[in-house]
Structure 1
């Protein structure tokens, strides 16, 4: 089914063949909004994405929220599946990363923005997709990206507020699977680890498995991200997807300097932090019976955007593992407004 060609338009309410459970709420309908996001309670035409974390009073799934105009270029469409090869593909995708669940999808909802244009621009064509998957009990969200035209517009790619993102390969398209969690900051160190904008190699007490690769060290960059293979000091975040760059975990990648703030890290192999991590993962994956054995916490506390020393955003990335499964949490405190490009994602080759 194709959305009407209309700037800032939306689909009519779409009755879901199977209810979708989204963070404790059960929804029986959805709207595909032309500006790159899904809503549940009502259609919405906002083309200006909120900076996270924003309490806008709406449940939103935004694969690529920006000002899009499908009147000239592109097609926005959606489709539901309850049988056939798409369910098989969805089942395989989820079991690839969560084999312990023995998941079997019974319903898939696919919304696609195919070669759409940014508002007032006809030359750029951008393609992306969000896929909702469920077995009636567990819910998963995939976000797939094709060609992304360059833009200076504000873009938000998130669920309702806090999120972590990691990438998978989906055919010839690099895509992202989103696992969303929220919570307070984990305890963090108070020592400044930086002298020239990046840390030395930090040896990990327990190896961290990141998309099939096992890493025994990491580097912490002042500009809001972790790398594994080598130190990196880029303050200009790349649009996703991007090939030819190091493996990156970026809770808030932009031009940052410490100012009056502190950038620090701590590792934990026992104590209350492991208990907290276990509870956080269990909250969303109770079937895993997960028990954390290692936690690595990196915190950018009240740092500043370069060169504005008056801004003090705070954020944190938490790596969690039991030696077999790996999880990434991203926590956010006060985030000062900025007009600079910010990337919140993971990138891997």
Structure 2
């Protein structure tokens, strides 16, 4: 059963639940969640609302709503949660995700389960009308959106019919061909963008990184670099940190060597700027395959990958804009490559430079 969220309450919520592993939700990293009685999860604060609205709301709240409606568990039903970091549940989760997303090679290290079991709709406290355990979804005279919605951005998914009283769609259909189950990837956006894994490595806390030592030297047009600097305004440098937010067209002789996936005036806002290095594992396999696809004439096997991601950062001073992009450095010790990956890029009237320059 796990930990009980609340006692017998109408419109209640759990206290802040510390997550045993950070959860990446469309570029934002959360270390806690709230399980709310009325059929949804939130992250920043509890949410007592029993009157759902249609997604997308473009409000200020990230929400995951398996079944958001007016629920009352005072007479019957249990709302509980449980976390797993080992055992058969992780094996089961790994099998499921690899079944639904076969292009990904994932091995689950953490699972969080929230369950609303045989709870009732208000004011029918003596009747059982919703059970996540037995898949018995019967809604009457209320709107119950199911899906997820993100605050101040365009990411959302609403299960078809969930706001039009078509609740049998939740039980008898699916987006992964498993009746009664819906599965979503939420780490990097609802679109399938070619992002490398990000957000779990070292995270920048201010506008620029200190010198980041590279595990393997990076050859950049005849120069060998053993360190890099990650600049908030969308570029990497090597010799020293650089604060410029006003981009200009390349070539520009006399400036430091720079790799600019998206150089413009940026501030982190609610986003995350992170980096990570890899010398083994599936990311090296992915990089090797990517370089072979783009440069088939080369015999290349990646031995080092450096991933820097600007996830849902904002243009200064427009805090409501959230472009996401990434630069990936790849090397086998002799050959070096750069990949630039892009997610959703919000329009901007500012100058933007995307390129590399060397002197």
TM-score normalised according to structure 1 size: 0.47
TM-score normalised according to structure 2 size: 0.46
| Larger strand proportion of the pair | 1
